[in-house]
Copies of this chain bind each other. A is one copy, B any other.
Amino acid sequence: MGKEQHTTEHEFRLASRAGHPADTVVEIGAGKDRVRIGGGHFGLIAGPCSVESEEQIVRIAKAVKAAGATLLRGGAFKPRTSPYDFQGLGTDALYMLVKAREATGLPIVTELMSEKELPLFLDLVDVIQIGSRNMQNYALLKAVSRVHKPVLLKRGYSSTVKEWLLSAEYLLSGGNDQVILCERGVRGFDSGTRNVLDLAAIPLVKELSHLPVIVDPSHGTGRASLVAPMSLAAAASGADGLMIEVHVDPACSVSDAAQTITPDCLADISTHIKALKNTL
């Protein structure tokens, strides 16, 4: 009965590992600052929920780089449940992210909410993030499928793995094959955590598809104390990277404070993951 049953297996033929056995490696940035994710290259994306000021984002960028991050995240355009919540600094925040990249060399990842800002994103950012709420915004997927820029496609918070791969197929079939998938938790019945982080989706995606897949344990759990153990679990499950909310002063974060960790905690995660991955 479910809609996913209307589509047959061959329909994510471009995302499927069956027709593309080798892992896709996504290349981000250029020159000496080039970073790779997939095919054995582990990406550690870190930064604040929201860009709050140039001073804040540059300071955090330096801190997360020192802690082992290989890319910088930071929200400029924020999808907020309420129209009265802080909506992000918008275009200004994009230029602040550019300053942080100049200061650290870290490529920048930030969320695109509307096709209107796409030209700006093509100029300024290194990875275009499609957020969980827009995983099935097909107009946006089609627009992004026609550009040459890596895309981080978050799983919808109640989407099946198959629906997620079919959204990736929208990107691939439009011509953009630089797609990184990101598991960020699905909605469940237990209010003890913000979402249910579905780590089994990692090895399942890697069976079904050649695309790299990373994990966001910050949104996946909603609790700072669970970020480190779930980061290690994600790495052990075979994830190609992590995306973690980090702030120099988590309690002062304008959004998502409860799930944000410090750079010191990130450094500890980074160290442990390197050791852990050597044993796999």
Contact = CB atoms under 8 A, between A and B. Distances in A.
Nearest to A276: B279
Interface residues of A, number: 79
Nearest to A11: B82
A5 to B, nearest CB: 9
A157 B241 CA distance: 29
Contacts of A162: 190, 192
Contacts of A223: 1, 204
Contact of A196 (B114, B196, B234): B196
Contacts of A232: 236-237, 280
Contacts of A272: 279-280
A44 to B, nearest CB: 16
A137 interface: yes
A188 B188 contact: yes
A191 B2 contact: yes
A251 interface: no
How many copies of the shown chain assemble into the complex? 4
Contacts of A230: 199-200, 203, 237
Contacts of A278: 279
Contacts of A188: 186, 188-189, 196, 198
B229 A238 contact: yes
B191 A1 contact: yes
A170 interface: yes
A176 interface: no
Contacts of A225: 203, 207
A182 interface: no
A7 interface: yes
A191 B160 contact: yes
Contact of A197 (B80, B160, B200): B200
B173 A83 contact: yes
A223 B204 CA distance: 9
Contacts of A1: 191-194, 222-223, 258
A85 B4 CA distance: 11
A235 B173 CA distance: 38
B114 A139 contact: yes
Contact of A116 (B139, B158, B170, B235): B139
Given A83-B170, A158-B158, A204 B193 contact: yes
7 smallest beta-carbon distances between A and B, as pairs: A158-B158, A114-B139, A275-B279, A236-B236, A133-B136, A233-B237, A203-B229
